[in-house]
Amino acid sequence: MLCDLSPLARASGQAPEGAPLRRHAKTLRRALLCVPARIVCHGRRTTLRLASGYRHLSALQATWAAAYALPPP
């Protein structure tokens, strides 16, 4: 499912030319889910502060937006 949502995998139709058709789940997990960040709670809001220079930021944002665009089960 992550391969269908993420622009890092060609199955989404948005990957750069030469990217593998389907990346291994371990590779996508490392790029999108093992994110160096801090969780900050302030004023009843929870914020995820990413490390500066995180190179997969646009892919993370695109995958997040695609996941929220899915219809509820």
What pLDDT, on the 0 to 100 scale, is given for residue 60? 83
What pLDDT, on the 0 to 100 scale, is given for residue 18? 61
10-residue stretch averages of pLDDT, the chain, 73 residues long: 65 56 67 84 91 84 84 84
What pLDDT, on the 0 to 100 scale, is given for residue 32? 77
Counted domains in the chain: 1
Q: Which domain, by its residues, includes 32?
A: 2-69
The whole-model pTM stands at 0.61
Q: Alpha-carbon distance 37 to 9, whole Å? A: 23
Secondary structure of 9-56 in the HEC alphabet?
Answer: CHHHCCCCCCCCCCCCHHHHHHHHHCCCEEEEEECCEEEEEECCCCCC
